[in-house]
Structure 1
Amino acid sequence: MKQKFHYATITQAIEELKKQGFTLDLNLKENQFLVGEQAYPADEFEIVDLYRYEGPSDPADESIVYALASKSGLKGLLVSGYGNSTDEDSANTLQQLHYKYLHHYGE
């Protein structure tokens, strides 16, 4: 599935996705998404859309904006930098979410 939009900047992507209801600021720790003190199992979420940004001179400057939705209707954003997941569980969780996204949209 091709993205309907490509936002020029991370800030623009975040602003536009918030207008679409992705208002929670999600943080990933191990296999959970955290919103403040509240924790949600990551496997309850799916990637609805994602936007990748790379620095002009260094691919290590990559950032990804994830628009995520849960089965219960929660919608939020996760912004992840290249190599930002410091623990193996977080890296595995993102990998599983990517797999479900690619499998679902046939990319």
Structure 2
Amino acid sequence: MAHYRASESKREQFRRYLEKAGVLDSLTNVLVALYEETEKPSNALEYPYTAVRRNQLLLKPEFSQTRLELNTLQQKYDQLTEENKELRSRLLQYEPAQDAGTE
């Protein structure tokens, strides 16, 4: 019986360690995400590994900065694309479309 209690104590310590380190929350989030997937992956065992690696990468500061830069550049790209469309339509008002056969 003493061995059983010692084992339970070690288990409880280990559980508290995992909880304090955030492992339980991370695993719970990964399993919830897997549950909510509409198309379940063919290899369910690989899913947690991939999700944890992906989350670790997203939490790194350099990736956070890169994501911010990407969002800024995407907004600038969208703005320039819209401006380009507007300028092309204004240009067509002053220059008639040229036919490919007449030069």
Q: Structure 1 or 2: larger strand share?
A: 1
Larger radius of gyration: 2
The higher-RCO structure (CA 8 Å, 6+ apart) is 1
Q: Structure 1 or 2: larger helix share?
A: 2
TM-score, structure 1 normalization: 0.23
